[in-house]
Structure 1
Amino acid sequence: MPVRLKKLIGTVLIIILVSIYAVLATTIATLTLATSPWWVHLLYFGLSGVLWVLPAMVIIRWMAGPRKT
């Protein structure tokens, strides 16, 4: 697969990932954290704000192609 096509597909996938993840994380927070103290909100949004990076790293690694040795 050409590199330009992989980058286009990867970019679209990352945009979709971030959009769905943001809606999902906000929905979970709205439904479960309504009566929680402020520090639980801080922990949840801190963790969920960083957690999306893991699947994005997989997509970026795929976009970069195989490692050259």
Structure 2
Amino acid sequence: MPVRLKKFIGTIIIIFLVTVYALIATTVAVAFFAESSGWVHLAYFLLTGFLWVIPAMFVIKWMETPPRESR
């Protein structure tokens, strides 16, 4: 697969990932932590703010792998 195509697909995947992840994290926060203190909200959003990086790392690693040589 050409590098430019891989980067385009990876960019679309990361945008989709961040959007869906933010919606899910916010929904969970509203459902479970609506009545919690500000410190609980801060801790939750700090944790979830960093967790999206893990799946994004795998997508970026895939984007940066060189294409296979044709036989």
Q: CA deviation at 1:38?
A: 1.3
CA deviation map 1:24-48 (0-9, x unaligned): 0000001000111111111000001
Instruction: Give, as a single letter, the amino acid of the residue that structure 1 aligns with 2:64.
Output: A
Quote the sequence identity (%): 61
TM-score (norm 1): 0.92
Instruction: State how far apart, in whole Å, the 2-side matches of 1:7 and 1:34 are.
Output: 39
Q: CA RMSD, aligned part only?
A: 0.8
Q: Please, which runs of 5 or more residues in structure 2 have no aligned partner?
A: 67-71
Q: Output the amino acid matched with 2:37.
A: P
Q: Hey, what does 1:53 align to over in structure 2?
A: 53
1:8 alignment counterpart: 8
Q: Which runs of 4+ in 1 moved over 4 A?
A: none
Q: Look up the match of 2:17.
A: 17
Which has the higher Rg, Structure 1 or Structure 2?
Answer: 2
CA apart distance, 1:49: 0.6
